[in-house]
Amino acid sequence: MIHIEERISINRPIEEVFAYVSDFRNTSQWQSGVVDVRLTPEGPVGVGTRATFVRVFLGRRLELTVELIEYEPPTKQTFKTIAGPLPGTVSRRFEPTAEGTTVSMVIEAQVGGLFALAEPLVARSLRRAVEADFGTLKDLLESREVEVSS
């Protein structure tokens, strides 16, 4: 079992951070390796929304489908894997601060298939990717290089 926890403070209002992060269509802008995202159904994101991500991880092209199981704007989002090589859940919490927003993320994943033999490597690579992606997210939102739609 892989367990990863990460936090970051972003100097932007909670509503803006939540709207951007919760819209899966923005994922490829701040998560490395994501090459395509498809939503089912198209339109506003909410409980039951499914997203299929195509990403490159450890040199392999992976397809992963998740379903949003909790969605409480602007404070909480949780989704679970329903298809793909890393079954698990990702929970994100958003807290307002005097400077902006703290985003906390917890990933719980089971490693299967070819990755099962290399679980420690997968865990380290995933942890590094999450840290780097959070840094990218912070830079993007704080520099206002992105358009955030509510």
CATH of the domain at 123: 3.30.530.20
Is 128 inside a domain boundary? Answer: yes
pLDDT at 119: 79
| 19 found inside a domain | yes
In a domain? residue 148:
no
Domain with 35 in it: 2-143
In-domain check, residue 9: yes
How many structural domains does the chain have?
1
Per the domain annotation, does 116 fall within a domain?
yes
Per residue in 33-43, pLDDT tens?
Answer: 999 999 988 87
Are 108 and 3 contacting, i.e. CB atoms less than 8 angstroms apart? yes
**150 found inside a domain:** no
In this prediction, the residues of the chain whose per-residue pLDDT falls under 50 are 145-146, 149-150
24-42 CB burial, b ≥16 within 10 A, e <16: bebbbebbeebeebeeeee
Domain assignment present for residue 137? The answer is yes
The structure's pTM equals 0.88
Three-state DSSP at 105 gives strand
